[in-house]
Structure 1
């Protein structure tokens, strides 16, 4: 991917500039596709519930981390209903400020709002049952993604999971000049996960999204 991202600094700063101009709304978070939010959340919930149960080898429901959280759409609809506490991390301060009101009463169970790019973020060791990374890996270079996933692994509790949910391209790496990101094909994502020392324990495609957008896949990693 090095040849696609020629200048790492501007790759990140252009993305930050792009998101600063995006309205802090559900529609803004979903690039104008606010209408798919319910389908997205329901697909994620069905996926996540396969792992979170009491009992041997199951993932706990104590604390989750929402990566690239924006205004907290996923925290509000998916994570707070399933976990006792949630932390949010996002590079855009305005989104995190908005999250405080958007999350409403349940927002009291959010312990931390981290304003930080994922390339620099270090999850606290052994803190999280689930680290949820949705629609944000395209904003990381390959090396930074691998390093971030390694740090995530250290941030997990026993039986914890890292979950990636993201667009996948049909082939190779497709750059997006508008928001300064890339879309990788599934094989490349799998390879980067492997490089990070994680294995995919379950993988599914999100169904019922509009035909004109990228396919979206969910990968559960340990």
Structure 2
């Protein structure tokens, strides 16, 4: 769901792959990943399935998950679960995931829901697992988006919420080569 910026998909995936490869093959395993706010499975198909043995998808919209089944094609055989649930209610299985990927969806959660979700995600990690947040960040404060009823938080607010969840940022990068007219996108690896 690139909001009219479909042309950035390859840049996005390349940046995400380079970010993830800093951790995979070392201590972080490649057994199972979770795609949060998966939509039709763009990130699952292009980023996660090439790197992990199994991927689970969670999205609040059943129609998107139904489309994901056909969009993923043969690669969909390695999808473990399709969970239709909002992240504010989703409880991932304890100790299942090497990587939990959360992209362009935290703006749909309240601060409290985000903190609680991150706490549940921490319990769902395997040893040396990572939670990855990749999202737009505002320049200052919280900026509401009336079009999709979400918010865009600045980096300091995101960092504070991560800390409240009992997590620490182990690596952080800005996504490069995106159009200048959109908010900066940052990727944070959490443990």
TM-score (norm 2): 0.99
Alpha-carbon separation, structure 2, partners of 1:104 and 1:205: 32
Alpha-carbon separation, structure 2, partners of 1:198 and 1:152: 10
Question: Any idea what SS the aligned residue of 2:10 has?
Answer: helix
Deviations 1:88-139 (CA, angstroms, capped at 9, x unpaired): 0000100000000000111100010000000000000000000000000000
Question: Any idea what SS the aligned residue of 1:201 has?
Answer: strand
Matched, 1:78 2:50: no
Structure 2: 5+ residue stretches without partners:
none
Deviations 1:176-215 (CA, angstroms, capped at 9, x unpaired): 1110000000000000000000000000000000000000
Number of residue equivalences? 190
Alpha-carbon separation, structure 2, partners of 1:33 and 1:70: 16
Deviations 1:25-49 (CA, angstroms, capped at 9, x unpaired): xxxx111111000000000000000
Larger Rg: 1
1:58 Cα deviation (Å)?
A: 1.1
1:66 Cα deviation (Å)?
A: 0.1
More strand by share: 2
Alpha-carbon separation, structure 1, partners of 2:80 and 2:134: 23
Structure 1 runs of 4+ aligned residues shifted over 4 Å read: none
Matched, 1:214 2:186: no
Alpha-carbon separation, structure 1, partners of 2:160 and 2:11: 28
Partner of 1:36: 8
Alpha-carbon separation, structure 1, partners of 2:27 and 2:175: 23
Question: Any idea what SS the aligned residue of 1:192 has?
Answer: helix
Alpha-carbon separation, structure 2, partners of 1:58 and 1:175: 38
Matched, 1:194 2:148: no
Question: Any idea what SS the aligned residue of 1:87 has?
Answer: strand
Alpha-carbon separation, structure 2, partners of 1:72 and 1:167: 19
Alpha-carbon separation, structure 2, partners of 1:34 and 1:88: 21
Matched, 1:101 2:73: no
1:75 Cα deviation (Å)?
A: 0.2
Structure 1: 5+ residue stretches without partners:
1-28
